[in-house]
Amino acid sequence: MSKNRKTLTISRPAEFMQLLQAVVKETKHYKYETWIENKTPGKKYYGEISDSSFSIVPLVSGRNYFTPILRGEMKSCAEGMELRVKACNSPLVMAEWPLLLFSLFFIVRMFIDFSPAYIRFAVVPLVLVGVGLLISRSAKKKALEGFLKIAVM
């Protein structure tokens, strides 16, 4: 199973749903925001919750482009409820892919023309994308672990 996906069995679904509603600041029209003020004590996430799924984002102080989205699906099972949670990249991290394609274009040009002048156009974007993906990976892992600590209480 992927590091960004976890499956749990919740034996008391009603208590889990109450806990989820207690820690999530529900928004009517969910959208990803890089800055949201947490003025509600006890809330650790914002997003949407339904009977069978949720889409939430951890509340952080300050502007953060790497805050992941936690998407969960809940299904009934014999033991209670099966919870599948996946940590997804923020939409802003996904915007790095064109930068990666841009740098790959210059790498190919460098080899076609045998010109080292293109290296500066290739290396800088590659370093930026690499750092961004490492930060995003760490943020997804941290967000998923934090949510699972709350879920198994």
State how far the Cα of 68 lies from the Cα of 87, in Å rounded to an integer: 6
Residue (of 9, 1, 6, 12) closest to 82 by Cα position: 9
Half-sphere exposure of 126 (CA within 13 A, CB side): 11
Q: What is the pTM of this model?
A: 0.78
State how far the Cα of 77 lies from the Cα of 107, in Å rounded to an integer: 51
Do residues 124 and 51 touch, judged by C-beta distance below 8 A? no
Q: What per-residue string of b and e applies to 81-100 under the rule 16 or more CB within 10 Å gives b?
A: bbbebbbbbbeebeebeeeb
153 residues of the chain, pLDDT tens digit each:
467 888 888 888 889 999 999 999 888 766 666 566 666 777 888 899 998 999 998 887 777 778 889 999 999 988 889 999 999 988 777 777 777 777 777 777 777 777 776 676 777 777 877 888 888 888 889 989 989 888 876
